[in-house]
């Protein structure tokens, strides 16, 4: 272990607890090489025994590749809330703590299925219908949709209930990010602006709502304001380049940037243009918010501004003292992330993290800052601000707004306790 030069580290300090300037560190001037010598300096020698994979030919190319078998533990966490009642009501959480960058690979995109996913859906039979308050009721099959103008956008999707353990558990649960906050993912979605299809159908002026209906067993249905549909709603046909995956709504889903996950109807087959919302089961039941004063908030679409430190995070163990990079993800349903602040001393002092460009609207944004950990017990926190000026609340402020049983729209600051032994544990905030 090479000794770190404390004098130059102090020059780069930007907040308490060891937070350092990324610009100064990457510039190389302030810290030099010693700060990056992470105990791996070693004499290089030719290895007398070459490993087998260098001495024999490998595997020819595959038609569809797969992750390294050595990474088999990088998978979604599965959990069921109504296991006995409805095993098909299943969740899979993205292992955010094992990923880097901002794109979620399609195999690891989170999913919430109220009635499982329809494996045997026939794409040649599947149609999208637009009807009710329209001049020209229309029916589209996959082949006809292929001729329409398409756009591509990188957007996050987040389940309204993401973070529910932190929202309702009496004590912070010592879990990893996949369980705690894994119901959020990010992909490049490609499809047709809904405004084009609505224009073609001739939506009538009194058609202020669009009820989207899924083609799965529960026919999950939500009412969407026509204003949102026309502004940036998309009929998504492709996910990270290839056809939308079956768990994300193959062959087509609604995409409503920034809106809670369940409104982005999967396997969508019908768009009813109506003058009033339908008050479907899914919008009058599961996806309402219980407020502190006993009232229930309906139609709370937009996901709040939020951030998570992914590295380090819960259930990880620090690999000795020295330099690390704190890295995480931030997003907001209201637009771009404007700022992420980090604290390495439990909220006493804060420093601005660097944001990884391009910072895209309603998309996961990676933030980072170098950090020197000296084995002192401490607490890490991140706090995001979006371009609309919304600031991520702390847990007390969030809890004050909602009824103790409310699980939806939890966006409070996520804190991680770091012990002297380097154990990283969920502390809520």
Q: Of 79-108, which residues contact its own copies (CB under 8 A)? A: 80, 86-88, 90-92, 98-108
The contacts of residue 95 (CB under 8 Å, 6+ apart) are: 74, 75, 76, 77, 108, 176, 177, 178, 182
Examine residue 70 and tell whether it contacts its own copies (CB under 8 A): yes
Examine residue 231 and tell whether it contacts its own copies (CB under 8 A): no
Examine residue 48 and tell whether it contacts its own copies (CB under 8 A): no
Nearer to its own copies, 155 or 395 (CB): 155
Helix (H, G, I), strand (E, B) or coil at 226: helix
Nearer to its own copies, 128 or 413 (CB): 128
Cβ atoms of 391 and 397 within 8 Å: the answer is no
Contact characters 276-315, its own copies, x per CB under 8 A = -----------------------------------x----
Closest approach of its own copies to the CB of residue 298, in Å: 27
Closest approach of its own copies to the CB of residue 64, in Å: 5
Residues 146 to 185 in contact with its own copies, rule: CB under 8 A? 146-152
The contacts of residue 63 (CB under 8 Å, 6+ apart) are: none
Q: Which of 196, 106, 187, 185 is nearest to 150 (CA)?
A: 196
Nearer to its own copies, 131 or 281 (CB): 131
User: Which residue stretch of 246-254, 275-283, 295-303, 392-400 sits at the interface with its own copies (rule: CB under 8 A)?
Assistant: 246-254
Using alpha carbons only, give the angle 244, 160, 259 rounded to the nearest 5 degrees: 60
Examine residue 372 and tell whether it contacts its own copies (CB under 8 A): no
Closest approach of its own copies to the CB of residue 136, in Å: 6
Nearer to its own copies, 384 or 429 (CB): 384
Closest approach of its own copies to the CB of residue 279, in Å: 21
Closest approach of its own copies to the CB of residue 386, in Å: 19
Closest approach of its own copies to the CB of residue 400, in Å: 34
User: Which residue stretch of 6-14, 49-57, 255-263, 279-287 sits at the interface with its own copies (rule: CB under 8 A)?
Assistant: 49-57
Examine residue 39 and tell whether it contacts its own copies (CB under 8 A): yes
Q: What are phi and psi of 382, to 5 degrees?
A: -130, 150
Residues 16 to 35 in contact with its own copies, rule: CB under 8 A? 22, 25-26, 28, 32-33
Other Cβ atoms closer than 10 A to 419 = 14
Examine residue 215 and tell whether it contacts its own copies (CB under 8 A): yes
The residue from 3, 7, 54, 294 that contacts its own copies (CB under 8 A) is 54
Using alpha carbons only, give the angle 120, 123, 129 rounded to the nearest 5 degrees: 120
Structure tokens belonging to residue 276: 């009033």
Rounded Cα–Cα distance for residues 57 and 407 (Å): 53
Examine residue 230 and tell whether it contacts its own copies (CB under 8 A): no
What is the C-alpha R_g of the chain?
A: 24
Other Cβ atoms closer than 10 A to 162 = 28
Structure tokens belonging to residue 335: 């637009």
Letter string b/e over residues 43-60, b meaning 16 or more CB atoms within 10 A of that residue's CB: eeeeeeeeeeeeeeeeee
Rounded Cα–Cα distance for residues 303 and 285 (Å): 18
Closest approach of its own copies to the CB of residue 314, in Å: 17
Cβ atoms of 423 and 416 within 8 Å: the answer is no
Examine residue 250 and tell whether it contacts its own copies (CB under 8 A): yes
Residues 311 to 370 in contact with its own copies, rule: CB under 8 A? 311, 319, 322-325, 327, 356, 358, 360, 366, 368, 370
The residue from 48, 58, 170, 205 that contacts its own copies (CB under 8 A) is 58
Preceding peptide of 312 cis, ω within 30°: yes
The contacts of residue 168 (CB under 8 Å, 6+ apart) are: 404, 405, 406, 407
Nearer to its own copies, 355 or 412 (CB): 355
The residue from 111, 382, 385, 414 that contacts its own copies (CB under 8 A) is 111
Rounded Cα–Cα distance for residues 87 and 148 (Å): 38
Examine residue 245 and tell whether it contacts its own copies (CB under 8 A): yes
Residues 121 to 150 in contact with its own copies, rule: CB under 8 A? 121-123, 125, 129, 131, 136-141, 143-144, 146-150
Strand arrangement, sheet containing 337-343 = 351-352, 337-343, 378-386, 415-418, 424-428
For its own copies (CB under 8 A), the number of binding residues is 126
Examine residue 422 and tell whether it contacts its own copies (CB under 8 A): no
Nearer to its own copies, 137 or 404 (CB): 137
């Amino acid at each position: 272990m090479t000794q770190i030069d404390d004098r130059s580290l102090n020059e780069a300090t930007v907040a308490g607890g060891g937070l350092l300037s990324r610009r100064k560190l990457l510039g190389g001037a302030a810290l030099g090489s010693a700060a990056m010598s992470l105990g791996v300096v070693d004499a290089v020698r030719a290895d007398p025994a070459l490993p087998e994979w260098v001495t024999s030919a490998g595997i020819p190319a595959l038609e569809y590749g797969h992750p390294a078998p050595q990474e088999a533990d990088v998978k979604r966490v599965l959990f069921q809330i109504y296991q006995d009642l409805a095993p098909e009501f299943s969740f899979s959480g993205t292992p955010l703590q094992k990923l880097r960058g901002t794109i979620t690979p399609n195999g690891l995109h989170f999913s919430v299925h109220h009635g499982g996913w329809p494996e045997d859906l026939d794409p040649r039979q599947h149609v999208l219908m637009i009807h009710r308050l329209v001049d020209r009721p229309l029916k589209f099959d996959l082949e006809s949709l292929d001729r329409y103008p398409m756009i591509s956008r990188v957007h996050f999707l987040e389940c309204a209930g993401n973070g529910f353990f932190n929202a309702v558990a009496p004590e912070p649960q010592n879990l990893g990010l996949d369980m705690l906050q894994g119901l959020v993912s990010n992909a490049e979605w490609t499809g047709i602006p809904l405004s084009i299809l609505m224009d073609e159908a001739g939506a009538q002026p009194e058609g202020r709502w669009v009820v989207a209906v899924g083609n799965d067993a529960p026919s999950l249905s939500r009412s969407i304001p026509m204003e949102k549909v026309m502004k940036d709603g998309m009929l998504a046909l492709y996910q990270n380049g290839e056809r939308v995956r079956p768990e994300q709504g193959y062959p087509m889903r609604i995409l409503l940037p920034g809106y809670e996950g369940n409104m982005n109807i999967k396997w969508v087959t019908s768009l009813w243009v109506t003058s009033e919302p339908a008050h479907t089961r899914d919008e009058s039941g599961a996806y309402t918010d219980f407020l502190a004063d006993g009232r229930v908030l309906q139609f709370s679409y937009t996901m709040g501004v939020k951030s998570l430190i992914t590295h380090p995070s819960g259930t990880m163990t620090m690999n000795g003292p020295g330099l690390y990079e704190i890295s995480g993800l931030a997003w907001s349903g209201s637009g771009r992330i404007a700022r992420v602040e980090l604290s390495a001393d439990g909220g006493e002092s804060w420093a601005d993290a660097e944001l990884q460009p391009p910072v895209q609207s309603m998309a996961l944004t990676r933030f980072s800052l170098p950090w020197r950990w000296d084995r002192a017990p401490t607490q890490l926190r991140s706090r995001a601000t979006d371009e609309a000026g919304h600031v991520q609340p702390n847990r007390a402020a969030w809890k004050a707004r909602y009824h103790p049983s409310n699980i939806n729209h939890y966006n409070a600051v996520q804190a991680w306790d770091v012990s002297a032994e380097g154990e990283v544990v969920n502390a809520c905030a």
